[in-house]
Copies of this chain bind each other. A is one copy, B any other.
Amino acid sequence: MQNFEFYNPTRIIFGKDTIAQLADHVPSEARVLVLYGGSSAEKNGTLAEVRAALGTRTVREFGGIEANPTYETLMRAVATIRAEGLDFLLAVGGGSVIDGTKFVAAAVDYKGDAWDILRTHGADVTGALPFGSVLTLPATGSEMNSFSVISRTETREKLAFGSPHVFPRFSVLDPTKTYTLPVRQVANGVADAFTHIMEQYLTYPAGGMAQDRFAEGLLLSLIEIGPKVIASPHDYDLRANLMWIATLALNGLIGAGVPQDWATHMIGHELTARHDIDHARTLAIVLPAMLRVRKDAKRGKLLQYAERVWNLRDGTEDERIESAIARTSAFFESLDIPTRLSAYGLGTETIDGVIGQLAQHGMTALGEHQDVTLEVSRRVLEASL
């Protein structure tokens, strides 16, 4: 096992009818900016519950944060906070809104050009406004981690930052708030969480027994509930499990003390930035190809994945590995998520552009061995056509 530091101070308030508990966790003197995305938080009643819980506190609202939250929009929220002297943020929505809120929290008192927060991946963030979240879409894990991904429309860039200053103080997870989500978003959430786990699990054996068992347990659970949680939107236990699994998939726990990959995400980000494909769908396109191209370096873990997650014990090593990768693709497809670039109308001509963006962002040595060069990324994209 590798040396590690694990620290996660976010308080999770989980369950039915928990939004009213905001009253206990937002300071009573706080001047609050509520940030949200489109109209769904209003329509499904979540914003009304939030307003009721905040009571007589000073509250301003800022809607319109995009599915891939943009620097341009978020800087308008920063201006509002400065103009109105607000001091506490509350994100109401999914990972996009929470990611955006993290950036806003870090940007308000940031010295210099706020885009540098992304350029330096958060290294020089020295503080942030306190904030909490009310999660409505299980997927990204942003509700219990210190990471954020922000896009810039002007330059078609999508970059990540992280900082211990942007852990949410608390996150309220009420599974009933996911009942009205569109099927496509739930499916994306399953695929996103699945890939988060794989990025931390499918590397090379490093002797982290609990980490491996936890990751496998989350994968097995997602495989068990994946199609059901989409087909039965009002099944509380299914939605509750998806919500908690997606949080656990990226709260630092399963990745502590083991190598991590994240090459699939880096390529996926460029596909979203250039071609507007949903984040989770880019992962479903890239992951199977990534596993095939890097089969030899990942052999030990691929065999473990085949056995413990897919119960594949017969045939040669290569047969078991290929079968496990094929089942991974089939799982995504069972969620109605196509796993080939061609299904999104993209062909060979798209590859040079993505590789160019990776080069521009310094993504030339990705993965757990830093051996995913631009040439390897090119082969992955070719394998995902």
Contact = CB atoms under 8 A, between A and B. Distances in A.
Interface of A: 1-16, 18, 207-210, 212-214, 216-218, 220-221, 224-225, 236-237, 240-241, 244-245, 248, 253, 256-257
Contacts of A240: 1, 207, 257
A14 B207 contact: no
B213 A218 contact: yes
A354 B137 CA distance: 51
Contacts of A221: 209-210, 213
Closest 10 CB pairs between A and B?
Answer: A213-B217, A3-B15, A9-B9, A207-B237, A7-B11, A209-B221, A6-B12, A1-B240, A209-B241, A4-B14
B6 A11 contact: yes
A158 to B, nearest CB: 29
Given A207-B237, A214-B217, A241-B209, A12 B1 contact: no
Nearest to A222: B209
A217 B236 CA distance: 25
Nearest to A244: B210
Contacts of A236: 1
Given A2-B15, A18-B3, A209-B225, A257 B244 contact: yes
Contacts of A12: 4-7, 256
A315 to B, nearest CB: 22
A48 to B, nearest CB: 21
B209 A257 contact: no
Contact of A210 (B6, B16, B217): B217
A327 to B, nearest CB: 19
29 contacts: A1-B15, A1-B237, A1-B244, A2-B15, A4-B14, A4-B15, A5-B11, A5-B13, A5-B14, A6-B11, A6-B12, A7-B10, A7-B12, A8-B8, A207-B241, A208-B241, A208-B244, A209-B221, A209-B225, A209-B241, A210-B217, A210-B241, A213-B213, A213-B217, A213-B218, A213-B221, A214-B214, A240-B257, A244-B257
A339 B218 CA distance: 34
A241 B220 CA distance: 22
Contact of A14 (B6, B9, B212): B6
